[in-house]
């Protein structure tokens, strides 16, 4: 994609002190920035990695247009107020870094607007419809993340009816929304757009060999190209994000919101220890079997076959009164191996409490997290009263479920949650979907599954979170004046 050299490109290259404008003494123009500045089309859209400098680029473009074309409006739309202010900060710094011979005077200078002495304006506001302007250059930054993306896009297009251009740029957010539809043309054609793709491996700040990566990275899987071409900071980021999130944030991939949150491959890799016959674990269904399994696990602890410390999670009666309890081992290596799974189908409240009490009295359980929504509220309260800080009631809100799910996902990608080869457990773990709502919130749940509500998945996620979660607030810690025996063992 090659364009003739534009006036704004020539202006910036000749008159802008790029290191001063970016606060980077080693700053150089990226190839995508040159393509962007030279793009003559009415409509342009960029699917980009995070942190590639696209927001700065559109600010530089707007400054050049404002200086070169008097009485021109340049409108930025951002995802929030702080990002709106940031565009003006960028623009102000760019103006200050221009040669004195071409540097304009500002007649209006505030947090959300700059007006030049030639009548041109730079206007920045949060994600809301664009109204009342004609012949303007419109910049839609992070379009995929606008709560009202379609409304804003629909309002922005007519602003260019008598002149100006529209530029949209974003990292993806699920396989849906206006940004996805325009860039992929998956539903309808958008023939007027020039499209550009900017993954991390074409950016020098992220990639240590851009020419080599441009030839090879596209045919590699994510880990392979990150290890081969990524700079140390990017490798660290990769290691601390779930794979699908990294692919969406840095590799321009539209992750289908209906896809499994935890893949079959990730499940299988965490079953390798069990497949080799080396995972010590116990399974039980029903009260009597649960009591026996708890004793069996206690013996395994005593003989050193499993960890000396455990953590547990309990999902209470969410599907046909089915309760699931899972315990995992706590290690110094970050591994959380599955040690005990208990299923209680249509078991009365007092018997459920008896099973949990047996486990907490018998096993070295450091922390036990229990669903306290609905039927679990009374059980959580009574167990917390009896066992204090060892038991924590957890609210099943969407933000909480996202927190637990991300932790479980990251650990499973590291093969840090050894699992038994259990068909029901595997299918429930695989059944969870990450869905993106119209208001751009993430929802983690099953997709119309009539047999279960992923009770085993949530018990496992709570058990793993019991290992990973920060300690309770200091005000919840009881300090005794005299020594007391607090050992649970």
pLDDT of residue 439 exceeding 80: no
Q: How many CB atoms lie within 10 A of CB 347?
A: 19
Q: Which two tokens stand for residue 241?
A: 């994000």
Number of helices (H), then strands (E), in the chain: 19, 16
Q: What is the pLDDT of residues 140-197, one digit of tens each?
A: 999 988 878 899 999 999 999 999 999 999 999 878 889 999 999 988 999 999 999 9
Nearest to 35 by CA among 3, 13, 12, 64: 3
440-479 as b/e: b if 16+ CB within 10 A: bebebbbeeeeebbbbbbbbbbbbbbbbebeeeeeeeeee
CATH class as words, domain 7-198: alpha beta
Cα 142 from Cα 118, distance rounded (Å): 30
pLDDT at 449: 40
pLDDT of residue 395 exceeding 80: yes
pLDDT of residue 357 exceeding 60: yes
More confident position, 104 or 442: 104
Using only C-alpha atoms, the chain has a radius of gyration, in whole angstroms, of 28
pLDDT of residue 481 exceeding 90: no
For the stretch 12-15, contacts whose Cβ atoms lie closer than 8 Å and that sit 24 or more positions apart, written own/partner, are 12/37, 12/60, 12/64, 15/98, 15/99, 15/101, 15/102
3-state secondary structure of 273: helix
Burial category of 424 from C-beta neighbours within 10 Å (exposed 0-12, middle 13-18, buried 19 and up)? middle
- Work out the average pLDDT over 405-427: 91
**Which of 12-16, 258-262, 287-291, 375-379 shows the lowest mean pLDDT across its residues?**
258-262
pLDDT at 320: 57
More confident position, 432 or 265: 432
- Work out the average pLDDT over 20-31: 96
pLDDT of residue 474 exceeding 80: no
pLDDT at 351: 93
pLDDT of residue 39 exceeding 60: yes
Nearest to 328 by CA among 314, 343, 345, 344: 314
Q: What is the pLDDT of residues 244-302, one digit of tens each?
A: 889 989 999 987 655 688 887 788 889 888 877 899 999 999 999 999 999 999 999 99
Which CATH code for domain 264-476? 3.30.420.240
pLDDT at 23: 95
Residue 439 Cα distances to 77, 191, 316, angstroms: 17, 28, 29
Q: Which two tokens stand for residue 163?
A: 């002149």
Segments making up each domain of the chain, as ranges: 7-198, 204-256, 264-476
Cα 174 from Cα 407, distance rounded (Å): 20
Cα 369 from Cα 352, distance rounded (Å): 15
Q: How many CB atoms lie within 10 A of CB 24?
A: 12
Percentage of the chain lying above the pLDDT 70 cut: 93
- Work out the average pLDDT over 402-408: 94
Percentage of the chain lying above the pLDDT 90 cut: 70
Cα 153 from Cα 143, distance rounded (Å): 8
Helices 243-250, 222-229: crossing angle, 10 deg rounding: 60
């Amino acid at each position: 994609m090659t364009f003739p050299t534009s006036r704004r490109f020539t202006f910036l290259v000749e008159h802008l002190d790029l290191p001063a404008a970016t606060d980077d003494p080693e700053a150089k123009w990226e190839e995508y920035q040159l393509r962007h500045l030279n793009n003559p089309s009415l409509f342009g859209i960029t699917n980009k990695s995070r942190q590639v400098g696209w927001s700065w680029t559109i600010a530089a473009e707007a400054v050049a247009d404002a200086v070169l074309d008097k009485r021109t409006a340049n409108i930025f739309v951002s995802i929030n107020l702080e990002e709106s202010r940031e565009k003006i900060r960028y623009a102000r710094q760019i103006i200050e870094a221009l040669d004195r011979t071409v540097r304009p005077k500002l007649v209006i200078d505030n947090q959300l607007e700059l007006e030049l002495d030639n009548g041109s304006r730079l206007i920045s506001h949060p994600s809301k419809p664009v109204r009342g302007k004609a012949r303007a250059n419109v910049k839609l930054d992070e379009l995929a993340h606008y709560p009202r993306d379609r409304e804003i896009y629909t309002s922005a297009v007519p602003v260019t009816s008598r002149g100006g251009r529209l530029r949209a740029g974003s990292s993806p957010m699920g396989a849906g929304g206006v940004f996805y539809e325009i860039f992929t043309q998956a539903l309808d054609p958008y023939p007027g757009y020039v499209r550009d793709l900017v993954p991390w491996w074409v950016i020098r700040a992220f990639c240590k060999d851009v020419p080599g990566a441009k030839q090879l990275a596209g045919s590699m899987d994510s880990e392979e190209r990150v290890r081969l071409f990524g700079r140390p900071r990017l490798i660290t980021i990769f290691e601390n994000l779930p794979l699908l999130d990294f692919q969406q944030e840095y590799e321009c991939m539209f992750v289908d919101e209906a896809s499994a949150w935890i893949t079959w491959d990730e499940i299988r890799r965490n079953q390798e220890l069990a497949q080799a016959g080396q995972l010590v674990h116990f399974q039980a269904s029903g009260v009597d079997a649960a009591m026996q399994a708890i004793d069996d696990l206690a013996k395994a602890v005593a003989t050193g076959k499993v960890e000396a410390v455990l953590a547990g999670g309990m999902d209470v009666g969410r599907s046909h009164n089915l309760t699931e309890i899972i315990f995992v081992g706590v290690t110094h290596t970050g591994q959380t191996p599955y040690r005990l799974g208990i299923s209680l189908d249509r078991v009365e409240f007092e018997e459920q409490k008896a099973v949990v009490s047996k486990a907490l009295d018998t096993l070295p359980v450091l922390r036990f997290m229990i669903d306290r929504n609905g039927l679990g509220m009374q059980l959580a309260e009574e167990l917390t009263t009896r066992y204090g800080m060892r038991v924590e009631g957890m609210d099943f809100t969407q933000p909480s479920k996202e927190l637990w799910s991300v932790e479980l996902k990251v650990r499973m990608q590291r093969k840090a949650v050894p699992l038994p080869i259990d068909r029901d457990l595997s299918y429930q773990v695989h059944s969870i979907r990450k869905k993106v709502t119209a208001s751009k919130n993430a929802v983690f749940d099953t997709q119309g599954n009539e047999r279960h509500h992923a009770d085993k998945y949530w018990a496992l996620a709570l058990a793993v979170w019991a290992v990973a979660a920060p300690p309770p607030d200091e005000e919840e810690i009881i300090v005794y004046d005299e020594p007391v025996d607090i050992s649970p063992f």
